[in-house]
Amino acid sequence: MSQKYYHIENVVFTFNKLILIIPSLWEGRMGMRSFRTELENPVVEKDIIELEKKIRLFKEGLINEELFRSLRLARGVYGQRQFGVQMIRLKLPYGKVTSNQLLRISAVADEYSTGKLHITTRQDIQIHYVSLDRTPELWAQLEKDDVTLREACGNTVRNVTASATAGIDINEPFDVSPYADAVFKFFLRNPICQEMGRKFKISFSSSDSDSALSFIHDIGFIPKIKNNERGFKVLLGGGLGSQPRAADVLYQFLPTQKIIPVTESVLRIFDRHGERTKRQKARMKFLINEIGLESFVKLIEEEQKALSQKEVIIDTSNFDAEIIIPKISNKKINIEDEATFKTWKELNVIPQKQNGLFAIGIKVKLGDFTTQKARELARLIKNYAADELRFTLRQNILIRHVKKELLPLFYQELKTLGFTELGYNSTTDITACPGTDTCNLGIASSTGIAVELERVLKEEYPQYLNNKEITIKISGCMNACGQHNMAHIGFQGMSINVGKLVIPAVQILLGGGVLGDGKGRFSDKVIKIPSKRGPDALRLLLNDFEDNSSNKPFLEYYDIKGEKYFYNLLKPLSDTSNITQDDYIDWGTTNNYVKTIGIGECAGVIIDLVATLLIEAQEKLDLAEDAYLNNKWSDAIYQAYATFVNGAKALLLTEDKKTNSQASIINLFDETFIETHKITLQMSFKELVYQINKNRPDSDFAKTYINQAKDFFETIEAYREKELVNEV
C-alpha cells in the first residue's frame, strides 16, 4: 500500500505516522533550516507548532509581548533573570521518571542547555539558559519519551505532586499514585484551566503524616478508608506567599470516583469568580476568604449539572502490577568502610511496605545535578531496580524497589557519583529556591546562604545529620518558592538600607511545621538581619535549643519561649552600626550588592488589550467548533463560555470598567450594555452565559451554546466597529 501525505501548515500526516516539520529560527530567518521528528500524538504536535508560530510572530512584531508571554508560560517557557535566555520547566506528575525519560531529559539538557538539571519543590525538573528559538525543538525531543512542558508555568493547574513514598509507604492506606496520575491527565489541556486568574496547585499525600503538604495547597488529598471504601480527606484553599493560609477541610471523606468531578467544579468556580486584576489577591485562598467556605460548597453543588462526568472511576491496575526487578548482580562488592555503609543504610535507606525491598534517598544539594550523573542513575534503575525513581518535594531523589542484597552495589555505585552524602530529609538537608541565581524576583541569594548553613551544620553540628524533626527552608523573596514560612527555621531574602547604601539581608522566621492529617502551622516573622550574619543566627538558635529545650520538640520549645524571646536572642545581629565591607557582598558573589528585581512571571500575566481579547474570543470560538466536531461536548461548551467572557471584557475595557473576575464581567456587561440598550440580546447576558451550569453538556446544548456565542461575537464586533467609526 502506498503512503498518502496530507499537508496542513507545517505538519505532514502520513498513513501510519505523523511527522512534524518546524522551521528552526535560531540560525536567523534568512538561513532557516528544518528539523524532523516523529511523534504519534497530533494534539502535542499542534501545541508545538503553535509555540513555534507564536515565537515567529512575536519576533516579527505581529503579536504583543503580554499575549506571547502568557502563551509561552503555559508551555513551560519562563524568562530568566539573565537577558535573552529562558528557564524550561518540565512537568513530571508526582515526580516519577523512568530510565528512558531520564536519558531523554539528559540528552535535551546537553543539546539545548548547559548539561545541568535542577529539581524543584514541586517535583519538576528545570533546565536553564535555553534559547527561546530552540524551545519548540527541545519540547518535541522530550515528547518522544512522554515528557511534557505543557502547563508547567502560567495561570494553569501546575504539576500534581505526591509523596515520593506513595506506593511504598508502610503507613499508607493505599497507593495514591494512580489518583495523582489520573488527575494530572484529566486536567492537562483541559479548557477550564488554561487561563485562570492565577496558578492552581494540587497534592496527594500518602498517609496522615501529610508529607505532600496538603494544608498549603489549593486542593490537597489525604487517603482514607471508610467502610472498606477508598476515599480522601479533601483540603481547600491553602497557600504560602506573603499571606500564608491553612487550607479548610472541604470533605472529611470523598470517594475516589468523586475526586475528579469535585476538582473540576472547584476549577470552574475559581476560573469564574477568582480575581484577575489584582495579582496579589488572585489565588484561591483569597476567594475562599471573600465568599466563605459554606458559599463555596454551594457553588460546587450548583456546578454539578455542567460536569461531563458525575463520577470518574480511576483504573489502578497499572500501579497494582507485580514489581519486576531485572536481575541480581553477580559482582562481589567489597565495602571498605562497613561503619559508614551501616550509617548510610540507617539514614538514607527506607524499608518499603513490599517485603524485601528498599528505597534509597539521595540528598541532592540545592536540587542541582549533572546529566552525567543522571545517565548513571538511569542505568542503575534500569538494570538493578524497577526502572523508576521519583524526584521529591525536598529537591532530592528517591530510588525505589531495591532488593536488600543489592544495597552494597547501589552504595558503591552512588558513592562514585557523590550521591551517598548522609542526612537525606534531615535538618542538614536544606531546601532553597534558585533566588538571585536565575529568578527575576530574587532579592537576596538563597542558594549561597544555603551552602554556608549546610557547611556550618556538618562541621559544627553533626548530630543533626539524623534529626528529621527540624526543617530549614530558604526563599530569595516573599513568594515562598523555598517554603520558608512553613519551616521550623526559615530564611527569606530581603535588603536593608544602611545610610545611602543597601545590603543583602534575611528575615528569620520560626515556628512553622507540618502537624499531620491536613494540619500545619506557619512561621512567625521574628527579625531582619544582614544576610552574612545568617550562620550566626543559626548557631544562636541551635545552641539555645540544646541548652534550654529540656529535650522537648522544637515547636513545643518555641511555643514555651515565645516569639519575643527569640527576637531578643537574635537582636544583637540586627545592629547595623557595626557593618563591615563583607556585609555589602551577598553570598556566592564577589561584588557589592545591588538590589535588582525584574518582572515576575511565575503567575502569568493579565491580558487587558481590547484587540487582543477580541482575537482570543474568536480563537476560543474556533476551538469550540473543533471540540464539537470531535464530540467533546463539555470542552466545546467551555470554549464557547470563554468566547462570551473575553468578548464582554473587551467591550467593558473600552468603557474603563474594572474587570476583576469573570463573574463581575458578566454582571457589568448587563449593567453597561444591556440595561442601557446599547446592545440588544434575546435575554440578559447573565442568563445567556450562565446556561453553562444549568444544562447537561450534551450535543444539543453544545450546538445551541456555540451558535449563541457566534451571534454574540458578531454583535460585539459590529458594536466595536461602529464605535471606532464614531471615534474617528
d(CA 409, CA 405): 8
Position 34 pLDDT exceeds 50? no
Position 268 pLDDT exceeds 90? yes
Cell of residue 575, nine digits = 545592629
* pLDDT score, position 685: 97
Q: Is 643 exposed, middle or buried (0-12, 13-18, 19+ CB in 10 A)?
A: buried
Average pLDDT in the chain: 89
In this structure, what is the dihedral angle of CA atoms 651, 607, 282, 441, given to the nearest 10 degrees?
-160
**Count of residues for the chain?**
728
d(CA 293, CA 214): 17
pLDDT (average), residues 56-67: 80
* pLDDT score, position 727: 56
Position 128 pLDDT exceeds 70? yes
Greater model confidence, 413 or 82: 413
Angle between helix 662-669 and helix 633-654 axes, rounded to 10 deg: 60
d(CA 20, CA 140): 9
Cell of residue 723, nine digits = 464605535
pLDDT-derived band at 31 (thresholds 50, 70, 90) equals very low
91 by DSSP, 3-state: which? strand
**Full 3-state SS string of 648-699:** HHHHHHHCCCCCCCHHHHHHHHHHHHHCCCCCCCCCCHHHHHHHHHCCCCCH
* pLDDT score, position 12: 36
All structural domains of the chain, each given as residue ranges with its CATH number in brackets, are: 37-318 (3.30.413.10), 323-416 (3.90.480.20), 439-584 (3.30.413.10), 610-727 (1.20.120.330)
Let me know: does 634 contact 307? Beta carbons within 8 Å.
Answer: yes
Could you read off the pLDDT of 105-126 as tens digits, one per residue?
999 999 999 999 999 999 999 9
Instruction: Please give the C-alpha separations between residue 13 and each of 6, 17, 413, in angstroms, as whole numbers.
Output: 5, 7, 45
Q: What percent of the chain stands above pLDDT 90?
A: 73
Position 25 pLDDT exceeds 60? no
Could you read off the pLDDT of 665-696 as tens digits, one per residue?
999 999 999 999 999 999 999 999 999 999 99
First to last CA, the chain: 62
d(CA 224, CA 229): 8
Position 480 pLDDT exceeds 90? no
β-strand pairing of 11-13 with 18-24? antiparallel
Position 409 pLDDT exceeds 90? yes
Position 264 pLDDT exceeds 80? yes
Position 310 pLDDT exceeds 70? yes
Let me know: does 568 contact 479? Beta carbons within 8 Å.
Answer: no
Q: What is the DSSP letter of 671?
A: I
CB contact burial 190-200 (16+ within 10 A = b; e otherwise): bbbbbbbbbbb
Greater model confidence, 603 or 665: 665
Let me know: does 430 contact 454? Beta carbons within 8 Å.
Answer: yes
* pLDDT score, position 606: 35
Position 443 pLDDT exceeds 60? yes
pLDDT-derived band at 332 (thresholds 50, 70, 90) equals confident
pLDDT (average), residues 377-402: 96
**List of E strands, 441-534:** 472-475, 489-498, 501-510, 513-516, 519-521, 524-530
526 by DSSP, 3-state: which? strand
CA 526-531-537 angle, 5° bins = 50
Cell of residue 649, nine digits = 471584557
* pLDDT score, position 71: 82
Let me know: does 673 contact 679? Beta carbons within 8 Å.
Answer: yes
d(CA 278, CA 436): 25
Chain-centre distance for alpha carbon 332:
43
- Least confidently predicted of 334-343, 636-645, 700-709: 334-343
* pLDDT score, position 607: 35
pLDDT (average), residues 697-723: 93
d(CA 133, CA 213): 37
Position 56 pLDDT exceeds 50? yes
Could you read off the pLDDT of 564-587 as tens digits, one per residue?
999 999 999 999 999 999 988 888
* pLDDT score, position 80: 83
* pLDDT score, position 359: 98
* pLDDT score, position 23: 44
Could you read off the pLDDT of 170-187 as tens digits, one per residue?
999 999 999 999 999 999
pLDDT-derived band at 311 (thresholds 50, 70, 90) equals very high
Position 724 pLDDT exceeds 70? yes
pLDDT (average), residues 411-430: 95
Position 550 pLDDT exceeds 70? yes
* pLDDT score, position 22: 43
